[in-house]
Structure 1
Amino acid sequence: MYLIEWGLWKLCTESEVERSATEAETNSDKHISDVYETELDEEMHFKRVSKSPRTRGPVFAINDTFLEMRCGASEEKRGLITIATLGGILPMLLTITFGAIAFLYLDIKDPSAISFTSALTTIVMTLLDITLIYLYFRYGFQLTRLEIFTSRHLLIRFNRKTQQVHLHRPQYCGGIVTLPWKSTGSTATYPEDDSLSHGMRLGLVWHPSRTGLPHMESALLGKQGQGGSELRDEWEFIRRYMEEGPDAIPRPRLSTQLPSPIQAFSAQFEGMSRFLRNSSWLFKVILLMVWPAFVILGTAHWVSLMLCWRPRWPKVIREAGLPGKPVPPLTTLADYPPDVQERLLANADRWQLKPGKRPEKEPRSPHARSAKNEARS
């Protein structure tokens, strides 16, 4: 499910009318938290952050040239749109379509039996069918393709020979981009953030001030964390691969890009194994009572994988790092269509850095505020 990636790209490419409507609904023109120059300088570094580099996958390929992993924000929820589409929308469209065709067939087969009522019914059924099909492809298909009839996975490829990072996404989620490795920021660099990692994925960001693009790029990697230092371990795994090579990290187990039922059913429990081990017996009994829901969602997840196709990199990226092959050019604003360029530039102010350092917040408690003032004096 590419809902978050789709939403972020829409945020980057909103038209003036859409942005005004969004700001009117939220009663604010600030959608993105302010980022200060000093914060970006402090948080974006390539120092060692863990003594135990490891990845929880899925890793699709690793060699001396590149490391390829799955990315995407909501794999554990994949299957919900498939259920809605295959269980609700498509049956309704097919029923109305076959009904309209049946009425037309009867009128053509026996013209003498045509009456005003039957002719009116045929016209109404046909118009209703055309209207519903139009509304689905105009408004509904953009949601359907977030999960089925699209690329099977979002991919990220780290090429250590060219020192580049490649993101593979559908066009409606930002498309395929090439970014410099040294402009990569990570959400897992400090131990004090470990408590926030439960249920989260490793986030990588590329700020416009480092890439030259007018918008922010981001990717959420692998599986959900279970707290502790898992996300820092995963970032350290990637960092060491890019900085030191594959010999500096443990060999990961490779996953398949085929539509595996194991991946489909296990995704529902990402980030929960530690919680389930420590949960009470009552909670485990409740889980046993709702197991049919997990079976339905897992089956829908598997179906969605089978109704998608394996993503394929452009030739220049597949050959990047090989002897005598060209280095892929970094993505620039000129790589986008003119209308997309215009919208990206119109929303560039969302990502501007604030100068200096973030001001300290005033304590809410009067006692804490007085203590802070005494410390200052």
Structure 2
Amino acid sequence: MYLIEWGFWQMATESETARKAYEAEMTPAEKRTRNDFHEADLDEEIHFHCVSESPLVRGPVYAFNETFMDMRCGGSEEKRGLITLVTLGGVLPGIAFGTIISGGSIWLDFTQPESSSFLTVILAIALALASGSAMYFYSKYGIKLSRLEMLTSRHLLIRFNRKTQQVHLHRPSYCGGIVTFPWKTTGSTAINPEDDSLSLGMRLGLVWHPSRTGLPHMEMALLGKQGQGGSELRDEWEFIRRYMEEGPHAVPRPRLSTQLPSPVQAFSAQFEGLGRFFRKSSWLFKVVLLMVWPAFVIVGTGHWLSLLLCWRPRWPKVIREAGMPGKPVPPVTTLSDYPPAVQERLLANADRWQLKTGKRPTNKTRKRSVPQ
């Protein structure tokens, strides 16, 4: 499910009316927190020094070699399948059933008028209007939600190319599209040991701030599996950092995952980040989990159907060949790469990411937040 990425892109391209409505609902404390980010904070949080002595990637990793490494992105992968179940189990069958019944009733009224009555005609028209309205609203609004996990790329991908020292994000256009950034503009949410307590249930977050990329908006990627606490996220960031800075020989070789629609991936995703919590939980909690196992089976089945109904993402040729001898280096993403209408929206929301000049006052600490 690409709900977080879709929502973040919608915020970056928000209309003036929608933005005013959103800001009107914010509390004064939320407004202060959003605008409380200094230039010095960014300098402290974007660095490439060692942050862990035990680099380890938890995956899924799809490719790993001397040139590049591909990993899975996605901020709510464990929730994938819910939209698929609602769409295939309720919305589409309901629309199809209503259309068939109303169409059959209208056909009988025309071909066998002697058997029809005023009541049957009214019921057929009402059912046809209801089915038509449902089809209209689903095609206008619902299909956008369905495509967050159906009939789209099977996974969001991130590629680290150490030969070109670039990072590439592979996403559908409605989540920001395919973009390329220099490696040295990459920021991480797993830099400070004091944030380790926040890693439970969280994913490693990478960010690209406009002050480093030259774009009018901030980009974000949430990598791999949910953390189980401790320093897992710092270990994962250290793995990526050493791979890009030193090479594949500096990190343990990861186990590669398949990009095929595996049922193992579908069912195991629901338990990401729960291993350590489950081991330390009481026996009563474990019994409760055993009692609700049918729900896990249903959601896992929906997740697998969602994978089956998607296609394997494919990088553009220039990114696939990047790092090979004699091949060009992919151009870094700029504002001109977006359509004019999107450029206008991005520029209109550029002030969201502005930094305060200078350093933070010594007697004032910044509240940290880690994206899921």
Pairing partner for 2:127 from 125, 130, 142: 125
1:113 is displaced (CA, Å) by: 3.7
In our comparison, the structure showing a higher alpha carbon Rg is 1
Pairing partner for 2:145 from 143, 168, 173: 143
1:37 is displaced (CA, Å) by: 0.6
1:114 is displaced (CA, Å) by: 4.3
The corresponding residue for 1:2 is: 2
Q: Following superposition of structure 1 onto structure 2, how do residues 275-294 of structure 1 map, counting pairs within 5 Å?
A: 275-294=277-296
1:311 matches 2:307: no
Aligned equivalents of 1:136, 1:77: Cα separation in 2: 21
Describe the SS at the equivalent of 2:355: coil
Whichever residue aligns with residue 3 of structure 1, its letter is L
User: Deviation above 6 Å: which 4+ runs of structure 1?
Assistant: none
Pairing partner for 2:49 from 38, 47, 50: 47
Whichever residue aligns with residue 85 of structure 1, its letter is T
1:152 is displaced (CA, Å) by: 0.8
Q: Deviations over 1:86-108 (max 9, x none)?
A: 22211211111111121133134
Q: Deviations over 1:225-282 (max 9, x none)?
A: 1111111110011011111111111110000111111111111111111111121111
TM-score normalised to structure 2 length: 0.94
The corresponding residue for 1:67 is: 69
The corresponding residue for 2:173 is: 171
1:112 is displaced (CA, Å) by: 4.2
1:21 is displaced (CA, Å) by: 1.9
Describe the SS at the equivalent of 2:221: strand
1:175 is displaced (CA, Å) by: 0.6
The corresponding residue for 2:195 is: 193
Aligned equivalents of 2:340, 2:110: Cα separation in 1: 50
1:61 is displaced (CA, Å) by: 0.4
The number of aligned residues is 363
1:237 matches 2:246: no
Aligned equivalents of 1:238, 1:263: Cα separation in 2: 22
The corresponding residue for 2:16 is: 16
The corresponding residue for 1:343 is: 345
The corresponding residue for 2:106 is: 104
The corresponding residue for 2:248 is: 246
Whichever residue aligns with residue 290 of structure 1, its letter is V
Change (3 A) 1:117 1:296: same
Aligned equivalents of 1:27, 1:112: Cα separation in 2: 66
Whichever residue aligns with residue 7 of structure 2, its letter is G
Aligned equivalents of 1:330, 1:126: Cα separation in 2: 51
1:358 is displaced (CA, Å) by: 2.5
Aligned equivalents of 1:357, 1:219: Cα separation in 2: 27
Aligned equivalents of 1:210, 1:51: Cα separation in 2: 28
Whichever residue aligns with residue 293 of structure 2, its letter is W
Q: Deviations over 1:289-342 (max 9, x none)?
A: 111111111111111111111111111111111111111111100011111000
Describe the SS at the equivalent of 1:26: coil
Pairing partner for 1:90 from 78, 89, 92: 92
Q: Following superposition of structure 1 onto structure 2, how do residues 200-211 of structure 1 map, counting pairs within 5 Å?
A: 200-211=202-213
Aligned equivalents of 2:218, 2:298: Cα separation in 1: 36
Whichever residue aligns with residue 217 of structure 2, its letter is H
Aligned equivalents of 1:154, 1:248: Cα separation in 2: 26
The CA RMSD over aligned residues, in Å, is 1.7
Whichever residue aligns with residue 353 of structure 2, its letter is W
Aligned equivalents of 1:27, 1:105: Cα separation in 2: 57
Aligned equivalents of 2:94, 2:339: Cα separation in 1: 37
Whichever residue aligns with residue 2 of structure 2, its letter is Y
The corresponding residue for 1:367 is: none
1:117 is displaced (CA, Å) by: 3.4
Aligned equivalents of 1:6, 1:85: Cα separation in 2: 18
Aligned equivalents of 2:118, 2:361: Cα separation in 1: 76
Aligned equivalents of 1:249, 1:10: Cα separation in 2: 37
1:360 is displaced (CA, Å) by: 5.5
Aligned equivalents of 2:326, 2:121: Cα separation in 1: 70
Q: Following superposition of structure 1 onto structure 2, how do residues 323-342 of structure 1 map, counting pairs within 5 Å?
A: 323-342=325-344
1:54 is displaced (CA, Å) by: 1.0
Describe the SS at the equivalent of 1:19: helix
Aligned equivalents of 2:327, 2:278: Cα separation in 1: 49
Aligned equivalents of 1:289, 1:112: Cα separation in 2: 57
Pairing partner for 2:272 from 267, 270, 273: 270
Runs (5+) with no aligned partner, structure 2: 366-372
Aligned equivalents of 2:127, 2:76: Cα separation in 1: 38
Describe the SS at the equivalent of 1:46: coil
1:182 matches 2:157: no
Aligned equivalents of 2:208, 2:262: Cα separation in 1: 32
Aligned equivalents of 1:360, 1:259: Cα separation in 2: 52
Aligned equivalents of 2:264, 2:35: Cα separation in 1: 38
Aligned equivalents of 2:143, 2:239: Cα separation in 1: 38
TM-score normalised to structure 1 length: 0.92
Whichever residue aligns with residue 24 of structure 1, its letter is A
Describe the SS at the equivalent of 1:188: coil
Change (3 A) 1:274 1:262: same
